[in-house]
Amino acid sequence: MTDYSSGILFGGDYNPEQWEESTWQDDFDKLSQAQVNSATINVFSWPLLEPAEGEYDFEQLDRIMAHLEHNQICVVLATATAAVPPWLAHKYPEVMRTDINGILQRHGKRHNACPNSPIFKRKSKALVERLVARYHTNSLITHWHVSNEYGGTCYCENCAKAFRVWLKERYGTLEAVNQAWNSHFWGHTYGSWEEINPPMRTSDIFSSGKPVLGGAALDYRRFQSDSLLENYKMERDIIRKYDSKRPITTNFMGSQKDLDYFKWAPELDVIAWDNYPSLDTPASFTAFSHDLMRGLKHQPFMLMEQTPNQQNWQTYNALKKPGEMRMLSYQALAHGANTVQFFQLKQSRNGAEKFHGALLSHSVSTQTRVFQEVAQLGGELAQLPQALIESEIHPNVALIFDWESYWGLENCIGPTTQLDYVASVYRYYQALYQQGIAVEIVSKQDDFSPYKLLMAPSMYITTDEVTEKIKAYTAAGGVFLTNVMSGLVDETDNIHLGGYPGQWRELLGLTIDEIDARPAAQAVTLHSATGIVGQGRTLCDLITPTTAHSLAWYGDETFYQGQACLTANEYGTGCAFYVGTYLDDQGLAFLMTQVLKRSQLAAKAAGEVEIMTRTTENQSFTFIINTGEHPQKIMNPYPDAYELLTQTNSPTDLELAPFAVIILQQDHE
């Protein structure tokens, strides 16, 4: 049995219930050739465990567990609540979600339960109680996997009722709700709690998807994220009642929009996530996603799912090229993953995911390219030292990711419809990634003091508390950077009055009266004393510096020619940068040069070579990864360090074949 604390979990989703039992042992014989040591099971088995209401049948699962034990494969045991069984939806239609158009769904798809359905809660609780009671003593289990890829939204009457309770708890009085939401707008003043409905297409959401009352929409998102979290916690608590030790998790999905993962993270023992880059996802975006997931707890995480080959739901599901899956696996490790798990171990014969890649493909052969690559990786991972798993990552730069700003910004009507929170945050991540500078993604609740540079792009929502923390951070010598559409509103979408960006004007040393919106094709040139330094697009703040100095100003395409666009404001012993537009590459490079200089940060790498270092007290492990298809050469940053994968000393010049990975181990006393 693999001991999770002493190695890398290597395996993934396995659905033997889809196959004749007579074929199972053949699967295991093959999986063992790839050094698979873990299987995630039982994700969608509710109707098998409870084929009719109250009739439980764990015999097949017992047999699956027995096979796994016999084959020395440890288990990530899912709670089987990720899809409601047909009988439950048929007997109790309310367990299904009602969509944004007010249409109650019938049985189908997955992740389909209303989180506020009393019946769903009761039935899922009963199932999980029995499941955990039965298996909690099984030493095969390394992790508990609650439900699956939580997300989505329900708009039913049970949610409406629960929303009103949630609002009462948050606001106390209806008057406070009316005030928080500025509901006198368009005659929305609520006279009783019952009048409040979920904001939906058939009520207060426009066909654009944007709401009339921003505060109501924000609160409904908070409420739905909390509702699913309650589902999770209910299951978590049952498990914890029986099992005080083994880690409990659920699998996350990077920068998805529905759940405020920072609010979820404390309830998980370890973060797990599913990494599905599409064929045009840049390596830097995958890195960003890993760092976001690591940042949730600032701890290593589980790479719970990736495909060994192609996906199935994209327009074009390209094959991963030879070496690409291996590269992506090491990239995950480089950013903090401590497991390499696949969806899936054996490819379904049928159903929506039948063309999703798997270790055991439809060929049912171990002689495939994909099987061989996975098997090779399994062998390598088994050799990695325990110290690597215990190592951590400590960047000097922090980047705030804020789900509330994500929701608020993308709900905002004006100054443009072209507002994309993730793209805006990623843009600044990417600027540092290209310079080889590691980034820690943080929440607004985190301590900023360890960082030399703190960036908060598109941080649309601010509060007194966060503002004070950023001011204190900057005053104490930190470098802060933010940009257009940041600092505009409070937690229920009320503009901070007195000039934008409300609470941050003093910190940034400026005030903004107007925000121009310009068609993407009508860029504005940006000028510094030395000439044109780039272009701004889509939005342009009309900045009036008070104490800030102007780094660049708008060109003559606009009536605000000469007005500041990029500014820096010395504040205490730190400095606050402001970017009043969406920058092109040249403009961003110009800006970051100055930001890095002021932050005393130095660039490290270039091109498609990614360098990430994980450290323990005594050792460091530097991953040097060619994320691209072209050979790369770089100077070895740690010449003569020990190269883990080849088990040799490393040379002065590193030549990296396409998708090549080097891990340099250094020992410190």
- Contact indicator for 628, 644 with CB cutoff of 8 Å: no
Assign 22 to helix, strand or coil: helix
d(CA 249, CA 265) in angstroms, rounded, equals 9
Shortest Å distance, C-beta 105 to a second copy: 5
Q: How many beta carbons lie within 10 A of that of residue 452, not counting itself?
A: 18
Our CB check for a second copy shows the closer of 184 and 394 to be 184
Task: Please indicate whether residue 373 is annotated as part of the active site.
Answer: no
Element at 383 (helix H, strand E): helix 369-383
Our CB check for a second copy shows the closer of 66 and 352 to be 352
Shortest Å distance, C-beta 207 to a second copy: 10
Q: Which residues pair with 248 in a beta bridge?
A: 144
Assign 549 to helix, strand or coil: strand
As given in the structure block, the two tokens for residue 111 are 């992740």
Our CB check for a second copy shows the closer of 106 and 633 to be 106
Our CB check for a second copy shows the closer of 174 and 592 to be 174
Shortest Å distance, C-beta 282 to a second copy: 16
Our CB check for a second copy shows the closer of 187 and 531 to be 187
CA dihedral 375, 379, 381, 385 (to 10 degrees): 180
Give the up-direction half-sphere exposure of residue 583: CA atoms within 13 A in the CB hemisphere: 30
CA dihedral 486, 492, 493, 497 (to 10 degrees): -80
Task: Please indicate whether residue 305 is annotated as part of the active site.
Answer: yes
Element at 62 (helix H, strand E): helix 59-70
As given in the structure block, the two tokens for residue 181 are 């939401």
Shortest Å distance, C-beta 580 to a second copy: 14
Our CB check for a second copy shows the closer of 369 and 633 to be 369
d(CA 468, CA 187) in angstroms, rounded, equals 35
Residue 607 has phi, psi (to 5 degrees) of 65, -145
DSSP category for residue 319: P
Shortest Å distance, C-beta 183 to a second copy: 8
Distances (CA, A) of 110 to 90, 99, 311, 357, 366: 15, 14, 18, 20, 31
Shortest Å distance, C-beta 194 to a second copy: 6
Catalytic residue among 194, 195, 230, 305: 305
Answer whether the bond into residue 501 is a cis peptide, omega within 30°.
yes
- Contact indicator for 236, 267 with CB cutoff of 8 Å: yes
Our CB check for a second copy shows the closer of 362 and 633 to be 362
Catalytic residue among 50, 55, 94, 149: 149
Shortest Å distance, C-beta 608 to a second copy: 17
Catalytic positions: 149, 305
